Amino acid sequence: MAFLLTVAVLLAACSLSGTRSPILEASVEEIQQAFRSGSLTSRELVGFYLDRIAHLNPTLNAVIQLNPDALALADEADAQRRQSSAVAQGLHGIPVLLKDSIATADRMGTTAGSLALLGSKVPRDAGIVARLRRAGAIILGKTNLSEWMNFRSTNSTSGWSALGGQTKNPYNLDESPCGSSSGSAVAVAANMVSVSVGTETDGSILCPSSVNAVVGIKPTVGLTSRAGAIPISHTQDTVGPICRSVADAVAVLDAIAGADPRDRQTLFISKYIPRGGYKQFLRRNGLRGIREDTIAAVEKMISIAKSRGAVIVENLTLPHADETLSGVSEDLVLLTNFKVELNQYLAQLVKSQVRSLEDVIKFNIQHADKEMKLFGQETFLESQATKGTHSKDYKEAVKRNQFLTKHGIDHLFETHKLDALIGAMPSLMTAPAAIAGYPAITIPAGYVSSTGVPFGIGILGSKGSEPTLIEIAFDLEQATLVRKPPPSM
């Protein structure tokens, strides 16, 4: 298993950065242009990022593993490009970091940040990893996360795992990086990789993206395969891009969206993928005629949206908001599904020292000095005590979530003929989108004056509305260009 402590020799051979490099903040398209012109190779790009990781990761703890085959994969990409320049597009030859809950059948592990999964072996690549490889992307490594996707304890620390330590916010090391896809957001923000991928059940892409001044897309549940991603619940889990720009995030989304026989939900949701993909919606008039709502005041952004032609419907109230935000029915569904689905995931591993949630609980007790020195595992215990998906309580909770979606967010969209909801991020607006399984995008909106920590603006849509959200996000991003890299990095 290729953890960071084992790769000193690899890093020593790859020191390419010194003075500020044009690779910093470079977009996927700019990198592809450099590939086509011959001014950059994938080996040089991978080497640059390995050097950045070696320099910054001791402080930021964003990357938990590196792929020992990364340079060899870069050489393969360069060879393919020499044979045919036509491959120099999309993600071909582009390094990607994956949240360490996404399975790769290579020399890296898949751990969820837990010592319990150290040394485990997966049977195959996750569905989205297979798609990334087919697109020619280079899997550079895995990122740290809130251990077990922040589902072990109600008192957990965002960005901390027993295996990876504490991920730090590059804009202010004393402030939270949010989670659970903490490392994915921090690595992209600090230019340790071109693009990254995270997962979300409720806020785990949107929150870390917003506080690290990057773009996060939470796709409609089922638009991207969850097969091979360590699960919490099929009802809310989704896999999505975290990048420095909307265009880069769309490049990743185009690569990973699509049907997968190993994730039944994708077979129903893939019909929402537009012919020609999502790149076509990167246009500057995306706000013209669009009707939007602001849940939290981001006055400058709203003013810009108006100036770009949007029709604003302000001060709307989400029906049943208190119940939705209380999380009572959501929590029961997640707790019940986690036990069932984690047991299924662990059972199919080729090699593992734990085969069930019960095993993980026992492991944590036996290794409490390392696993539970900061917080416990009360969420695990609650999940273990659930009675299964055939129980009356579970079925009633599922129905209640469906009611809250139909009479909450759906009612708001239909009654006011909305195209999207806009609000400050991070915020509680992640919960309605999570329960409904609906898409959302966050883009950088500003920086808190007292701390320097970024905040974002979230754009939430209905099922399959990614084209509209991308149009809005891209137009708003290009009209504001708020993002700036972390100071001194």
How far is the C-alpha of 242 from the C-alpha of 443, rounded, in Å?
Answer: 10
What whole-number distance in Å separates Cα of residue 193 and Cα of residue 182? 14
Biggest distance spanned by C-alpha atoms of the chain: 63
Dihedral, CA atoms, 16, 19, 247, 76, nearest 10 degrees?
Answer: -10
Of 122, 119, 167, the closest CA to residue 143 belongs to 167
Closest CA relative to residue 337, chosen from 240, 261, 236: 236
Burial annotation 229-250 (CB, 10 A radius, 16+ → b, else e): bbbbbbbbbbbbbbbbbbbbbb
- Integer-rounded Cα Rg, in Å, for the chain is 21
CA–CA distance, 435 with 409 (Å, rounded to integer): 10
Residue 39 exposed, middle or buried by CB count within 10 Å (0-12, 13-18, 19+): exposed
Q: Which amino acid is at 272?
A: Y
Half-sphere exposure of 225 (CA within 13 A, CB side): 22
What is each CA distance from 30 to 22, 43, 71, 208, 419, in whole angstroms?
Answer: 10, 16, 21, 25, 31
To which residue do tokens 């190779």 refer? 41
Backbone phi and psi for residue 359, each to the nearest 5 degrees, phi listed first: -65, -40
DSSP of 338-371: HHHHHHHHHHT-SB-S--SHHHHHHHHHHTHHHH
Phi, psi of 103 (to 5 degrees): -70, 140
Active site residues: 99, 180, 204
